[in-house]
Copies of this chain bind each other. A is one copy, B any other.
């Protein structure tokens, strides 16, 4: 038992880019999952966060790690639309899957951003192969440390190949639709 660990809730995506199929955390058991929350008009995301996320995507084996960009619009909602994001992704040539965080009901905070308790953008969340949150950072992360953290999580996953889906779901308070807090 890891009493202090927090299970990552699934994300809520209104629209996907760079992927033909929806991605669900509950289907990614056994793999390391990297979630990069950004806004297309956030300078720190454009200068540091998104290039780093693309580098993660280019560096690691997709069989080991799933990279997901999450467009968590919490300001300037009227101009950071999915249509604008589409042009942004095209111009910056990002190739990793990106989901638009489902708009929230109050205060402009989108749903996944709210559920995860993110403080802003860019935020980087690392989820281990069992679905636990390993790291949740806000701001700029160092490339070497990020590379080391992800590789460590991959090693943990490879050392625990017998994790079964059923066990995972029981261990987890989330199903594919919702997470109990």
Partner-B contacts on A (CB < 8 A):
41-43, 46-47, 52, 55-56, 59-60, 75-76, 78-81, 83-84, 87-88, 91-92, 142-152, 154-156, 159
Shortest CB–CB separation between residue A139 and chain B, in angstroms?
16
Q: What are the 9 closest A-B residue pairs judged by CB atoms, nearest first?
A: A147-B147, A155-B155, A144-B147, A79-B84, A151-B151, A148-B151, A147-B148, A76-B87, A143-B143
Please determine whether A78 and B88 come into contact, CB atoms closer than 8 angstroms. no
The answer for the CA separation of A92 and B55 in the assembled complex, in Å, is 24
Besides A142-B143, A143-B147, 15 more A-B contacts (Cβ < 8 Å) are A42-B91, A47-B47, A52-B144, A55-B144, A60-B148, A75-B87, A79-B79, A79-B81, A84-B84, A143-B143, A144-B146, A148-B150, A150-B151, A151-B151, A155-B156
Q: Which residue of B lies closest to A92 (CB)?
A: B43
Which of A60, A80, A84, A144 counts the most chain B CB atoms within 10 A? A144
Q: Which of B42, B147, B154 makes the CB contact (< 8 A) with A146?
A: B147
Please determine whether A56 and B87 come into contact, CB atoms closer than 8 angstroms. no
Shortest CB–CB separation between residue A136 and chain B, in angstroms?
19
Interface of A is mostly: helix
The answer for the CA separation of A154 and B75 in the assembled complex, in Å, is 41
Q: Which residues from chain B contact A41 at a C-beta distance below 8 Å?
A: 84, 87-88, 91
Q: Which residues from chain B contact A154 at a C-beta distance below 8 Å?
A: 152
Q: Which residues from chain B contact A87 at a C-beta distance below 8 Å?
A: 41, 75-76, 79-80
Q: Which residues from chain B contact A42 at a C-beta distance below 8 Å?
A: 91
Q: Which residues from chain B contact A81 at a C-beta distance below 8 Å?
A: 79
Q: Which residues from chain B contact A56 at a C-beta distance below 8 Å?
A: 144
The answer for the CA separation of A145 and B80 in the assembled complex, in Å, is 33
Q: Which residues from chain B contact A147 at a C-beta distance below 8 Å?
A: 143-148, 151
